[in-house]
Amino acid sequence: MTHQEIERRVLAKPDFESRFNELVVYYPLLASGRLYTYDEDGLEKERIYCACDGCRYHPDTMAHRAFFEAAYRKEFAKARVFFEANNSLLAKFNYWVRNDLSPFISYSESDDGSDRISVIPMDKKEFAEYNRLVYHYIKHSTNGVPRSMTLGGRVAEFEVRMSRAIYPDEVLEKAKIALRKDFESHRMNMQRVIFEDLLNGGELDWSVKTWDYGECMDNVIANEAFLFLKYLETYGKMRLDEPFLEYVAHVFGDDDLGMDWSAIAKFFQEQAVRADISFPYQDERFPDDGSIISKKAGIMANLEGFFPEKRYTLIMDLALAAPDVASRHQLISRMEQLFGPMSASFDGISRDLIGEVQLGLELYGKAAEKFRLGIRAVVDKSDNRSAMDNLRLCLELFLKQLLGNNKPLEKQDTLGKYLKEKGVPTELRSMLLGLLDFYTKYQNDYVKHNDKVEEADINTILYLTATFLQRLLRAQIERQSDLPAS
């Protein structure tokens, strides 16, 4: 429900008490002595009750103080019962966030502080969990670090610059230098120390002590900058891992320029049906249990929970489902630059098949590059010979790296043995080897030596190449110890 809808419900009530009771259904009572309706930007609009220094002696405040204080004591007593029960730290933290309380502060309802409650753990075994929770809180809450200093924010801004750059390589190098220089002369000494330690192979001290607000801010800012530097260092050969998923979540979960939560939930509901899985967050009402703090966190959790080999098509489908998100164009461009023009049609060939192969080839650099070039030539219809050559070379380079030899495609006589070791059934092995034999003969007779490629053959060769690669990649990952030779 939007702020405006809540305001209409509240102001439709005839008196203070009914307005108060309606408002606290949607907004937490414990956070402060201020109860307002809000405008569409989340700014305070209509005062229902406020006990700040400027309002405490206002006639309305004085008239309703007893009612407010009784309601506050009742809510505080409920919170104390919850905290005295044997609830987990995560449950307490979620309760805290749901009531819009700062996890760095202890709260008391009495003047002497005898009934103080806090989510800050005393048991050292819970320090690491608490610190990870407040890291997440600082990163995603409206009172945390500016979004421009988070990994997703930094990547989004950088991608826009790259999309406009005439000399992108220079922009990339300047970004690396500027980030390092910024922290070399950083005015916040502790952030500089943390950043330098991370560069030298260190890591955040999660379990030594609980972080206060300032320490958490320093850790988040330094670590998010370090992750962004790692992003820049791997630019052009990135995987769909945390940094890129952060970028995707930032684009579509941005409070001002992204999708609203109902549209996000509807998208993941539809994808859940298609993929026959359950995403963590797909209810149209934004979770009010504190389990996630922002739309970005919800999108990130859903993307991380999806099959890695399917993430490409999931992200592209998300981009196509969000026409009102302006920065999706930069994202689509970046996706296609990294993995090929997947937004295009392949005349009936499954985008899931192409996407799975694209991701699976990430560990096979030269083969992956040839596959991208082959796909681009197929889509552009610019050079049929180039399309066929690149698809053949992709398969050849992949088999060389997979089998650890330097044999041409038509002489890969150890492939049958490899497939047998992987448990591929006899009949399927024979089918794959037979098709591969005809595949190489076609390439030699019509492409490699004669350049007699027919337009109708191109998608068939693309489909066969992708199908070969999909089955070989799946056989390879069945045993995690069998990594490709470098």
- pLDDT for residue 92: 87
Spell out the alpha helix ranges (H) of 99-234. 127-140, 151-164, 168-184, 189-199, 213-233
- pLDDT for residue 90: 86
Task: Please name the helix (run of DSSP H) or strand (run of DSSP E) that holds residue 47, with its range, or none.
Answer: strand 44-50
Express each pLDDT in 339-355 by its tens digit: 665 545 555 566 677 77
- pLDDT for residue 482: 45
- pLDDT for residue 222: 93
Give CA–CA dist 97/137, Å, rounded.
Answer: 9
- Does position 483 have pLDDT exceeding 50, yes or no? no
Express each pLDDT in 100-109 by its tens digit: 788 998 887 7
- Does position 411 have pLDDT exceeding 80, yes or no? yes
What pLDDT band is residue 477 in, cutting at 50, 70 and 90? low
- pLDDT for residue 48: 85
User: Counting Cβ atoms within 10 Å, is residue 352 exposed (0-12), middle (13-18) or buried (19+)?
Assistant: middle
Mean pLDDT across 183-202: 86
Express each pLDDT in 201-258 by its tens digit: 999 999 999 999 999 999 999 999 999 998 898 886 666 777 788 889 988 988 777 8
Percent of all residues in the chain with a pLDDT value above 90, rounded to a whole number: 15
- Does position 338 have pLDDT exceeding 70, yes or no? no
- pLDDT for residue 481: 41
- pLDDT for residue 484: 46
- pLDDT for residue 184: 82
- DSSP string covering 404-459: TS---GGG-TTHHHHHHHTT--HHHHHHHHHHHHHHHHHIIIIIITT----HHHHH
- Does position 425 have pLDDT exceeding 90, yes or no? no
Express each pLDDT in 44-80 by its tens digit: 888 888 877 788 888 888 888 888 888 888 888 888 8
Spell out the alpha helix ranges (H) of 14-102. 16-26, 59-84, 89-98
Residue 34 β-bridge partners = 50
Nearest to 271, CA basis, from 307, 225, 220: 307
Mean pLDDT across 166-191: 86
- DSSP string covering 140-152: HSTTSS-GGGSHH
Q: Say which range, 137-151, 312-326, 336-350, 388-402, has the weakest mean pLDDT.
A: 336-350
Mean pLDDT across 391-401: 90
Distances (CA, A) of 431 to 9, 105, 424, 444, 457: 67, 66, 11, 20, 20
Task: Please name the helix (run of DSSP H) or strand (run of DSSP E) that holds residue 463, with its range, or none.
Answer: helix 455-477
Q: Say which range, 316-320, 393-397, 401-405, 424-428, has the weakest mean pLDDT.
A: 316-320
- pLDDT for residue 108: 79
- Does position 330 have pLDDT exceeding 60, yes or no? yes
Percent of all residues in the chain with a pLDDT value above 70, rounded to a whole number: 88
Express each pLDDT in 361-392 by its tens digit: 877 878 888 887 888 777 766 677 788 888 88
Give CA–CA dist 57/45, Å, rounded.
Answer: 20
Structure tokens at 157: 């801004």
Q: Would you say 469 and 361 are in contact if contact means Cβ atoms under 8 Å apart?
A: yes
Averaged pLDDT of the chain:
82
Q: Give me the numbers of helices (H) and strands (E) for the chain, helices first please.
A: 20, 2
Express each pLDDT in 1-59 by its tens digit: 677 888 888 889 888 889 888 888 887 777 667 788 887 766 788 888 887 778 888 88
What is the Cα Rg of the chain in Å?
28
What pLDDT band is residue 187 in, cutting at 50, 70 and 90? low
- Does position 486 have pLDDT exceeding 50, yes or no? no
Distances (CA, A) of 443 to 392, 414, 427, 462: 7, 20, 24, 12
- pLDDT for residue 177: 92
pTM of full prediction above 0.75: no
Give the SS3 label for residue 299.
helix
- pLDDT for residue 107: 82
